Amino acid sequence: MNVTFSPGPTGLGTSSLRARRQPGEQPVRPIPGLYWHPVKEPEPAVVAEVDRRIKRWAVEEIDLFPPEWEEQFDAFGTGRYVCLTYPEAAGLDHLEAAAQLLVAENAVDDCYCEDHGGSPHGLGARLLMAHSSLERPHSVAPYEQQWQQKLDSEAPCRAYRASMEFFNRLTSDQVRDREVHDLARLHLGYLAEAAWSIDGVVPGIPEYLMARQYNSFRPCLSIVDAIDGYLFPADLHDHPKVQQVIALASLATTLINDLYSYTKELRSPRPHVNLPTVVQVQEGLPPDEAYGKAVTIHNDVMHRFEEEAAACTAELPGPLTARYLRGIADWLDGNHWWHATNTRRYTLPGFLPAQ
């Protein structure tokens, strides 16, 4: 997903650099030319309560991070993120469930993939370990117990397990299974990008867009029914037309991240592929034109998402399909606004038209 807690240029110990704009960068705001929809700002009291709960969970229940990561954890804005993306959430417990899953996903990304101890090397083994904490791994004594002890010793695995259990209590085994599947998709996406990183490969645009359908925010947006307090039934969710709409929405959310984190990722210790850099390399364009083309591709994906969502609602009439797809669209809009207003994480490239 590439929305990790790490807000700064080179990871831990550089938090003083966070708010400092680099030369040639602009303050974050909606990207000129980007297709997006305005959202309502959430109630500050609700945001604060979700932040209080998620901090308590992470610190007291999971022991998720060392004290020196606390400022970064707070600066991420988890409460505002989930309040913006689930405006119809059924209640605080449901918002907390979404926040727990998001925090756990970020911890796995930070600690196993990215700059808080992660790396593309050996990632397949670490991600399978993490994945096994979402489901109970079963073997025989004493090995099953020994493996559980290993999982209990890993903070990201404790977070995955606890967040999935809390989520499961609010919903059903079916929806838990659906979410584990979407996290498997995410992990497969991480592993494709790790392979590119190790081999120094810049994928073609078609392959990159396919992979960003997997390494995407899908595990967040596909659970809008559960967070909003109803069940979108499996026979509808698994219908090819609905799957198409979810896939396009997932891709759109990730391209938003690519565009807003472009300058942040330029400063990363390891080169990051994102749509602007892929376009730049594959089409031999200068950075500003490549970025502009990436904005156009994002807009095309958004338009296609909206067209196919309308077609899907017509093909599968009934209140649940419309409600679910409305929730997905809300998630996209909230995700955009969180990125466009997160001044502590993001800046825009200097080549964009001035504000």
Q: Which residues bind a second copy (CB under 8 A)?
A: 121-129, 131-132, 135-141, 143-144, 146-147, 150, 172-174, 176-177, 180-181, 184-185, 187-189, 191-196, 198-199, 201, 203-207, 209-211, 213-214, 234-235, 238-240, 243-244, 247-248, 251, 297, 300-301, 304
The token pair that represents 88 in the structure block = 């119809």
- CA 13 – CA 68 distance, rounded (Å): 8
**Angle at alpha carbon of residue 151, lines to 148 and 152, rounded to 5°:** 85
Burial class (CB in 10 A: 0-12, 13-18, 19+), 236: middle
For the bound state, the minimum distance from the C-beta of residue 50 to a second copy, rounded and expressed in Å, comes to 28
For the bound state, the minimum distance from the C-beta of residue 188 to a second copy, rounded and expressed in Å, comes to 5
* Of 8 and 120, CB closest to a second copy: 120
For the bound state, the minimum distance from the C-beta of residue 187 to a second copy, rounded and expressed in Å, comes to 6
* Of 88 and 135, CB closest to a second copy: 135
Count CB neighbours of 169 within 10 A. 11
**Residues sharing a CB contact under 8 Å with residue 307, sequence separation 6 or more, in sequence order:** none
Which three-class secondary structure state does DSSP give residue 348? Answer: strand
* Of 47 and 297, CB closest to a second copy: 297
* Of 41 and 300, CB closest to a second copy: 300
Could you tell me how many helices (H) and strands (E) the chain has, helices first?
17, 2
Answer left, alpha or beta for residue 229, where phi above 0 means left and psi between -120 and 50 means alpha.
left
Residue 146 is which amino acid? Answer: Q
Proportion of the chain in helix, strand, coil states, percent, rounded to 5: 65, 0, 30
* Of 78 and 222, CB closest to a second copy: 222
N-term to C-term CA, the chain: 28
For the bound state, the minimum distance from the C-beta of residue 159 to a second copy, rounded and expressed in Å, comes to 18
* Of 31 and 194, CB closest to a second copy: 194
**Angle at alpha carbon of residue 243, lines to 237 and 248, rounded to 5°:** 135
For the bound state, the minimum distance from the C-beta of residue 137 to a second copy, rounded and expressed in Å, comes to 4
For the bound state, the minimum distance from the C-beta of residue 184 to a second copy, rounded and expressed in Å, comes to 4
For the bound state, the minimum distance from the C-beta of residue 266 to a second copy, rounded and expressed in Å, comes to 23
Residue 111 is which amino acid? Answer: C
* Of 52 and 150, CB closest to a second copy: 150
β-bridge mates for residue 347, sequence order: 27
